[in-house]
Copies of this chain bind each other. A is one copy, B any other.
């Protein structure tokens, strides 16, 4: 048995994230101190940093795990598939899960520190995806370009989605973006 402690830990983590998001929404990111968040969740600033490495990560908590899974899905795709189709297929699947919350995205997009952290996270994911593609035999430059372009595509889709106040069909946008950028990756 090793599930009880982990469960409480995840519960605290979730509560912390919830409180953080709420405070950010009402007061703004910069106007909210880590101490405020911790207090609201019933613990100390010191403990906050045992759950999240930075203040920003209270918003992007599970993004790291997502990156790992994305890389794994890329690795698990049929070997004959080209890199671009591979990324298109995998990311299409994730697009739905990523952000149903318009308000959270607005918060991120309107807060430089959060926007920055998001770019950073995506950069890390890109690194993992490149390695996954490399394992499929894709040459480094092609892998790098494909991963970077795919990230750019998702980013553009997200912003377009915000521009239309969340009324656009995200899957359609993803398909459109990936089609427009369809590279000469063999295919």
Chain A residues within 8 Å of B, Cβ to Cβ: 112, 115-116, 119-120, 123, 140-142, 144-145, 148-149, 151-153, 155-156, 159-160, 163, 173, 176-177, 179-185
Contact = CB atoms under 8 A, between A and B. Distances in A.
B160 A141 contact: yes
A179 B173 contact: no
Contact of A181 (B115, B156, B163, B183): B183
A156 B116 CA distance: 19
Contact of A149 (B119, B149, B159): B149
A141 B180 CA distance: 11
A163 B140 contact: yes
A140 B119 contact: no
B140 A160 contact: yes
A184 B148 CA distance: 18
Copy count, this protein chain: 2
B116 A149 contact: no
A123 to B, nearest CB: 6
Contact of A185 (B119, B120, B149, B180): B180
29 contacts: A112-B120, A115-B120, A115-B123, A116-B119, A116-B120, A116-B123, A119-B123, A140-B160, A141-B160, A141-B173, A141-B176, A142-B180, A144-B156, A144-B160, A145-B156, A145-B177, A145-B180, A145-B181, A148-B153, A148-B156, A149-B149, A149-B152, A149-B153, A149-B156, A151-B152, A180-B184, A180-B185, A181-B183, A182-B183
A68 to B, nearest CB: 19
Nearest to A112: B120
Contacts of A144: 156, 159-160
Given A141-B173, A144-B156, A145-B177, 7 more contacts: A112-B120, A115-B123, A116-B116, A140-B163, A148-B155, A149-B149, A180-B184
